Amino acid sequence: MKRLHIHLKTQDLDKTVGFYTAMFGKEPDRIEADYAKWLLDDPRAHVSVSSHGGAPGVDHAGISVVTREDLDEIAERLRARGDALMEETETTCCYAKSNKYWARDPQGAVWELFQTFDTSETYGAEPDRDILTEHQAAKDTSEACCTPQSPS
């Protein structure tokens, strides 16, 4: 099973939790002083909010998968296109232990592809996604708008 994942940054967690609890019609599946998460079946989504750094709003989108095989399959499709991925194995983030890949789409939107295998008592560290920005900038400047792409 796959779920669309959206992570939002907020300056007021209590108000944000109240809003999404009303919108989704259910309490969060996990709530901490700085974080909340809903695992929804209708629509099939994993929505989380946190008060950790960054500007308020959408921080990143993602795909949550059940197995490591599903995770690696998505990563291989992106690699086949020549997209940069940043891999994190057995990392702790958002009160969960996960294997994950980070990617940026052509417009720079951040995507988190992850397989969670356990919970954590700590939020964990924010990943350093600068390597993806640097790779995307280099790729963008090396590709002209109307030049056919050579096969990789």
Q: Would you state the pLDDT for residue 133?
A: 62
pLDDT of residue 142: 39
Beta partners for residue 129, in sequence order: none
Q: What is the spatial distance between Cα 85 and Cα 100, in angstroms, rounded to a whole number?
A: 10
pLDDT at 125: 81
**Residue 138 pLDDT:** 46
CA-to-CA separations, 79 to 6, 125, 147, in angstroms, rounded: 22, 25, 21
Domains defined for the chain, CATH in brackets: 2-142 (3.10.180.10)
Sheet holding 96-104, edge to edge: 30-32, 35-41, 44-50, 2-9, 57-65, 110-119, 96-104, 86-93
pLDDT value at position 148?
34
Which of these, 4, 87, 9, 16, lies nearest to 47 by C-alpha position? 4
pLDDT at 126: 75
**Model pLDDT, residue 147:** 31
pLDDT along the chain (152 residues), means of 10: 93 91 91 96 92 88 94 93 91 95 87 95 80 53 36 40
